[in-house]
Structure 1
Amino acid sequence: MASVTPKLTLGIHPQSLSIHRFTPIAHNISLAAGLLATASQPTYAPLASLTITSDEVSVILPSSLALPSGESHGAPQGEIKTEGDWIAVQVAGTLDFALVGILAYLTAPLKEAGVSVFCVSTYDTDWILIKEDKVEEAKAAWERVGCKVVDAQSL
């Protein structure tokens, strides 16, 4: 097993994101997939994600992307929960699956700083979402443990 190197580079993406929760019914899954296709365009945000479980459909979308309203217009059915004002932080580069402890390494200093996180892993890398008003605290916490934190455009 490879250990985590303390020289990780993190890129902060400035676009505001929202996390939405829908009930797991076919209509909502189709709607979420359509919203995801729109959000995946480069003009929106660096991260859009769809996760489906037996209990929920969770979608991460740019906050600027409005959800449909009114069931007659294809709005989600059932209760919708939304948590906004998140910023995405990307671990730079492609991470080998053999690496162990990356998220633990990155979230431990945030725990100490009182910064809440929402994590998403992709095939290539990890993403940590933090609240917009906690960006500076998160950046300082990561820099204290040796991470390089940059504007994502510098990646």
Structure 2
Amino acid sequence: MSKQTLQLLEQEFTIHSLDCDATVPQAVLNSKLYFIAKTADELSIVCSSDISVDSLAAESHWRALEVLGPLGFSLTGIMANISGVLAKANVSIFTLSTYDTDYILVKQSQIQAAMNALKKDGYLLL
């Protein structure tokens, strides 16, 4: 399988945990890039760190690597390969997927190590 091209996004992200019945802030909905997941137990929001969210818990200082797509549903092993490279480099990740592509969130303190490991393994980073 050929290696994908990844792009480091400029903004910093925060991962928020809210009560499952919480309302998503309008500032999140108005932003250019955000992710929302809801279960019976929680509401999770990933958004730019400059957006204020009244959450139960939050993890800040995440950077995002976008796997440039679109990626077809028939492709296999993309996230397994990338996460394997990062695991070998002792880089912790938080992953998100959309219809067209995947995002790998890495703590700001580990982003350079992540990019170095991916480059060494043959990934192109923009």
Q: TM-score range by the shorter chain?
A: over 0.9
Structure 1 residue ranges without an equivalent (≥5): 41-46, 69-75, 151-155
1:32 match: secondary structure: coil
Contact kept in structure 2, 1:33 and 1:50, CA below 8 Å: no
For residues 79-128 of structure 1, the C-alpha deviation after alignment (integer angstroms, 9 at most, x for no partner) is: x1100000011001200001111100111011011111000000000000
Equivalent of 2:102, from 126, 129, 151? 126
Question: Does structure 1 residue 39 correspond to structure 2 residue 26?
Answer: no
For residues 59-89 of structure 1, the C-alpha deviation after alignment (integer angstroms, 9 at most, x for no partner) is: 0011011125xxxxxxx6xxx1100000011
Contact kept in structure 2, 1:143 and 1:149, CA below 8 Å: yes
User: Structure 1 segments of 4 or more deviating over 3 A?
Assistant: none
C-alpha deviation, 1:146, in angstroms: 0.8
C-alpha deviation, 1:135, in angstroms: 1.1
Distance 1:66 1:11 in 2: 26
Distance 1:123 1:37 in 2: 18
Number of residue equivalences: 126
C-alpha deviation, 1:143, in angstroms: 1.0
Corresponding residue for residue 53 of structure 2: 67
2:62 match: secondary structure: strand
Residues 105-120 of structure 1 mapped to structure 2, 5 A cutoff? 105-120=81-96
Contact kept in structure 1, 2:34 and 2:47, CA below 8 Å: yes
Flag the structure with higher helix content: 1
Corresponding residue for residue 71 of structure 1: none
Structure 2 residue ranges without an equivalent (≥5): none
Identity of aligned residues (%): 32
Q: Return the letter of the residue paired with 1:50.
A: I
Equivalent of 1:104, from 80, 93, 101? 80
Corresponding residue for residue 61 of structure 2: 85
Contact kept in structure 2, 1:36 and 1:49, CA below 8 Å: no
Corresponding residue for residue 8 of structure 1: 4
Taking structure 2 as the reference length, the TM-score comes to: 0.94
Distance 2:12 2:105 in 1: 10
Contact kept in structure 2, 1:22 and 1:57, CA below 8 Å: yes
C-alpha deviation, 1:33, in angstroms: 5.5
Q: Return the letter of the residue paired with 1:7.
A: K
